[in-house]
Amino acid sequence: MSNFEDIKLYLTEKNVTLVAVSKTKPTAAILALYDRGQRDFGENKVQELREKYEEMPKDIRWHLIGHLQSNKVKYIAEWVYMIHSVDSLSLLEEINKQAAKHNRIIPCLLQTYIAKEETKFGMDEAELHALLQSSTFAGLKNISINGLMGMATNTSDEEIIRAEFLHLKAIFSTLKQTYFNEASQFSMLSMGMSSDYKIAVECGSSMVRIGSLLFGERQ
């Protein structure tokens, strides 16, 4: 975990938020970073997120970064800090419904598809416009759209990664202008992981999700 201070310093200078991705890692590893001041942690599975939430200090800000099934929203709605992986209007409706039960407004990011891989979740630009223009969306009062999240293709070709991140940044700017001009909460662009976070920051990221570089490789 000796990388933490260097990464933190780099990101702080650029005003970028670090989400430490602790999936598969034991609570002791989370506490080690917590003790050094880290408060934002990300998990990709609801079950694991719940278990860690129960065990860990309550001032941790938990980010759900992995694919979320509608029937599991209820398990995290009371306390999840931000959901990065909203990829449909129906999921957003369910988040809204569960948030209302707890009298909350849950911050959400719309996961945007930018990679050349069939396996990555997310909406394309046309789907994002359709969602944001729908009357259903307009009626959702217990969610807040705070920005976008995306993942680049898993490749060593930096030019492909850069082009995808710039594409995401362009979509972000278009949506901000079109739908969120007066809405300051639409400000987060969650892009960049261990292998590509510096490229992401150069391309305008405001939040990176870093796992293996902080905690070591996963099994």
Ligand X SMILES: *Cc1c(COP(=O)(O)O)cnc(C)c1O
Site of interaction with ligand X (CB under 6 A): 21, 23, 44, 65-66, 193-195, 209-213
Smaller CB separation from ligand X, 140 or 200: 200
Question: What's the min distance (Å) between Cβ of 117 and ligand X?
Answer: 13
Question: What's the min distance (Å) between Cβ of 196 and ligand X?
Answer: 9
C-beta nearest to ligand X: residue: 211
Question: What's the min distance (Å) between Cβ of 159 and ligand X?
Answer: 20
Question: What's the min distance (Å) between Cβ of 11 and ligand X?
Answer: 13
Smaller CB separation from ligand X, 140 or 151: 151
Which tokens go with 180?
């969120």
Helix or strand (DSSP H, E) at 207: strand 207-210
Smaller CB separation from ligand X, 7 or 77: 7
Question: What's the min distance (Å) between Cβ of 142 and ligand X?
Answer: 24
Is residue 109 helix, strand or coil? strand
Residue type at 189?
L
CA distance 91 to 122: 12
Residues in the chain: 219
Contact yes or no for 111/147 (Cβ under 8 A): no
Classify burial at 121, counting beta carbons within 10 Å of its beta carbon; exposed 0-12, middle 13-18, buried 19 or more. Answer: middle
Smaller CB separation from ligand X, 21 or 91: 21
Smaller CB separation from ligand X, 23 or 129: 23
CA distances for 217 relative to 20, 52, 99, 110, angstroms: 13, 19, 34, 27
